[in-house]
Amino acid sequence: LALESALAQALERNEYSLHYQPICQLVDGKPYLAGVEALLRWSDQGRLVPPQEFIPVLEASSGIVRVGEWVLQEACRQVRDWQLAGQAQMHCAVNLSIRQLQEHDFADRLMLILDETGLAPGSLVLEITETLLMQDSMLVRNNLQRIAGLGVRLALDDFGTGYCSLGYLKRFPLHILKVDRSFISGTPENAESLVISRAIIGLGQSLGLSVVAEGVEEQAQLDFLTAEHCPFVQGYWFSRPIPAAQLQEMFSESG
Ligand code: G
Ligand code: G
Ligand code: MN
Ligand code: NA
């Protein structure tokens, strides 16, 4: 309860911030910065609280709706700034919680945020999970259709860990599959991980979806993903999620 009330005040107190993790495109086995995933952070009296400790609490109440809107605003503003500063092709991925998609005016508010920040809809990716799709309500489905109608892309996050039937991949307007890091972490040594990762990459490509491999931590995994023609990669091997200022330093270093 103490946690809930602290979280309720955190927005006014400016205690939330975003970290950004690079998402790289593989071109001839070489990674090029293509976009970033924005990840919510909460600093409670100077201590960074692990997301697993506070995001579920926000999601259990409606707190995630207001905080989620702040995340969208902040991420769109930041990535638009980076685009104007020279990273013209950079896209921005933001995680959504089901509560946000249960708001009847979600798409209108999203349109307003894109308008206010000047970020093109095509530069935004919204990440949703299989569990969210399985709620399968009309409201959620309408919101997803409207989002896609704006030209914002939808990514299915943590793919392979839920109980989503493959039919869902066609029923919803999805553009991107993110292969869960639990599969990538076993590659290339573990035969089962390798076969599953290969199958998901192939499935995505056959369905005309783009594929992002998450949780890449080693060169050997990158080599495997290059051989499998996986188009996008993300993970500690490239960078941990870091504050905006720190990521900006990386742009200037790479020219
Ligand atoms: O930040 P980290 O990489 O530890 O993320 C932990 C979990 O929190 C992930 O499952 C991620 O999707 C989720 N998460 C991070 N930021 C947000 C956010 O802004 N909104 C929602 N709904 N989930 C988030
Ligand atoms: O569920 P989602 O994919 O949104 O979660 C993102 C989470 O994954 C963040 O907490 C981020 O810190 C974490 N993450 C990103 N890259 C790696 C990685 O290479 N290894 C591990 N173990 N976690 C990662
Ligand atoms: Mn994600
Ligand atoms: Na994930």
Atom of ligand 1 nearest to the CA of 97: 22
Closest residue by CA, ligand 2 atom 15: 235
**Is residue 186 lining ligand 1, measured as CB closer than 6 Å?**
no
Q: What is the pLDDT of residue 163?
A: 79
Cα–ligand 1 centroid distance for 204 (angstroms): 23
- Integer CA distances (angstroms), 98 to 33, 42, 203, in order: 29, 20, 25
> Can you spell out the DSSP letters for 20-52?
EEEEEEEETTEEEEEEEEEEEEEEETTEEEPHH
Atom of ligand 1 nearest to the CA of 19: 1
Residue 60 has pLDDT above 80, yes or no: yes
pLDDT band at residue 1 under the 50/70/90 scheme: confident
Cα–ligand 3 centroid distance for 227 (angstroms): 24
Cut 0.90: pTM above it: yes
H/E stretch holding 95: strand 91-95
Q: What is the pLDDT of residue 245?
A: 97
Cα–ligand 3 centroid distance for 129 (angstroms): 9
Residue 165 has pLDDT above 90, yes or no: no
Q: What is the pLDDT of residue 255?
A: 54
Residues with CB under 6 A from ligand 2: 21, 39, 51, 95, 157-158, 181, 214-217, 235-236, 241
Per the CATH hierarchy, to which homologous superfamily does domain 2-254 belong?
A: EAL domain (3.20.20.450)
Mean pLDDT calculated for residue range 175-181: 97
Which ligand gives the minimal distance to the CA of 127?
A: 3
Mean pLDDT calculated for residue range 132-137: 86
User: What is the distance between the alpha carbons of residues 207 and 203, in angstroms, rounded to a whole number?
Assistant: 6
Cα–ligand 1 centroid distance for 41 (angstroms): 9
pLDDT band at residue 162 under the 50/70/90 scheme: confident
Mean pLDDT calculated for residue range 156-161: 93
What tokens appear for 181 in the block?
A: 């890091």
What b/e readout covers 167-183, taking b as 16+ CB neighbours within 10 angstroms?
eebeebebebbbbbbeb
Residue 223 has pLDDT above 70, yes or no: yes
Write the pLDDT tens digit of every residue in 8-52: 899 999 999 999 999 999 999 999 999 999 999 999 999 999 999
Interface predicted TM-score (ipTM): 0.97
Atom of ligand 2 nearest to the CA of 19: 12
CA atoms within 13 A on the CB side of 240: 3
Cα–ligand 4 centroid distance for 121 (angstroms): 22
**Is residue 39 lining ligand 1, measured as CB closer than 6 Å?**
yes
